[in-house]
Amino acid sequence: MRSARAARSAAQIWDIATPARPGLLPGVGMAGFRARTTDPVDLSVVPYPAVTVAVDLGDRPLAVEAPDGRRHQGSIVAGLAADGLRGRGRAIECLQIRLSPLVAHTVFGASAELGGAVVSLDDLWGRDGTRIQEQVRAAGAWQDRFAIAAAALARRHEVGRPVDAEVAFVWRQMVTHLGGVRVEPLAAEIGWSRKRLWSRFRSQTGLTPKRAAQLIRFDHAAHRLASGHSAALVAAEIGYADQSHLHRDVRAFAGVTPAAVSAAPWLAVDDVAWALPGYLSGTPLRAAAGR
């Protein structure tokens, strides 16, 4: 299948490490990436329904181009629906962390500001961010790096402000139903008005409920396309009105056609790095074999 060929191609570029045991926080996934080549890497990244942290560990700075055209060097935090993100560099080595927006709100304390945006980790965490990066870089071994990052996230989570229970419930319903939910019944179920849910959800996740549901559905569709399923089948299975509807969503989030998504290198590593995406709903990430 196409996914197997893509995975082999990705394996030629990246050495990928994953945690050997569950992390301290549910709703957090981690993976380590080290390029096998010193040739330039230019990679377009599809938006995920998670807040993404890239801790730059290479000898040469990682360059990241944000959706607004701004360029960042070094460690960054990318919010939900950061479409149009590109990473460039040589001899890339980085620790990538994906956080459920429920966790990210508590850890970063800046959710609305991260809706589709990219910011420097230092801008969010200041000296604490610099210190954590230095500790992770000095550790060397991936399992030690994962442990340092997990401990730092747990410390900040302990003192951070949690999302509203109602917002958490709505997000988890969206994840459970792969984005195929209507906002109005969810608002009624939690006893909020539609306006209040819209406002609180956006302020704590960075996206409106409708946009968040679309992103979750798109993510599922993108992975089905990357697994070799036809656009027509994916549209029918996931609940799009028709194939044109799927095409519009893929264009809106990824800027390419469904055919291009099916061959996209950014998804080829997911079965290895993010095989058990518990970071989406807040479900604890089960242990994966270290590499």
Closest CA to 227 of 275, 280, 156: 275
- pLDDT tens digits for 147-190? 999 999 999 999 999 999 999 999 999 999 989 889 999 999 99
Q: What is the pTM of this model?
A: 0.86
Helix (H, G, I), strand (E, B) or coil at 238: helix
* Triad 241, 6, 212: Cα angle to 5°: 35
Are the CB atoms for 225 and 135 separated by under 8 Å?
no
Portion of the chain with pLDDT greater than 90, in percent: 40
Closest CA to 22 of 282, 287, 272, 291: 287
Q: What are phi and psi of 31, to 5 degrees?
A: -155, 150
Are the CB atoms for 223 and 267 separated by under 8 Å?
yes
Q: At residue 106, does pLDDT exceed 80?
A: yes
CA gap 140, 69 in Å, rounded: 33
Closest CA to 222 of 180, 181, 264: 264
Domains detected in the chain: 1-291 (1.10.10.60)
Across the range 193-209, mean pLDDT stands at: 93
Judged by phi (left if over 0) then psi (alpha if -120 to 50, else beta), residue 255 lies in left
| Mean confidence (pLDDT) of the chain | 83
Q: At residue 89, does pLDDT exceed 70?
A: yes
Q: At residue 208, does pLDDT exceed 50?
A: yes
User: What DSSP character marks residue 263?
Assistant: T
Are the CB atoms for 206 and 116 separated by under 8 Å?
yes
CA gap 268, 184 in Å, rounded: 36
Find which of 35-39, 70-74, 218-222 is predicted with most confidence, using mean pLDDT: 218-222
